[in-house]
Amino acid sequence: MDKAQALAKARQFAETAHSAALDKLFRQFHEKLKESRAQMAANGNLMSGGMIKETARINAERITALLQSRLDCLLEGFELHHVTLDDELVVNIINELTVLRCAWIEHAAE
């Protein structure tokens, strides 16, 4: 298997593994947000600056977990398919994660 095939298989593995992790992470953080909102509502603080701050904190935590999951899945795929990390691949991974981070931040309030 040549380098391009190994890289394609590693990325395919990462996509599949990350898709499975995405659902779990989205449910987990949706539940955290729901619990936080319920607690703030019980205290009469649902429409407060504290709730905005807490929502932002939870969204930041979610985005960090999603990015870490994506990186872990990529690295596992590369290891599984014996893809060597060179400078070009590292730059590509950083760029990919940066694009994902920007997109997830932009859509965090939705």
- What is the predicted pLDDT for the residue at 67? 95
**Vertex 37, ends 20 and 106: CA angle to 5°?**
55
Domain that holds residue 56: 3-106
- What is the predicted pLDDT for the residue at 110? 63
> How does residue 107 score in pLDDT terms, banded at 50, 70 and 90?
confident
Q: What is the mean pLDDT of residues 67-80?
A: 96
- Examine the pLDDT at 47 and tell me if it is beyond 80: no
- Examine the pLDDT at 48 and tell me if it is beyond 80: no
Q: Of all residues in the chain, what percent carry a pLDDT higher than 70? A: 95
- What is the predicted pLDDT for the residue at 30? 86
Within 10 Å of residue 54's Cβ, how many Cβ atoms?
18
Nearest CA among 20, 2, 1 for reference residue 76:
20
What pTM was estimated for this model as a whole? 0.81
> CA quadruple 15, 13, 5, 74: dihedral positive or negative?
positive
The number of distinct structural domains making up the chain is 1
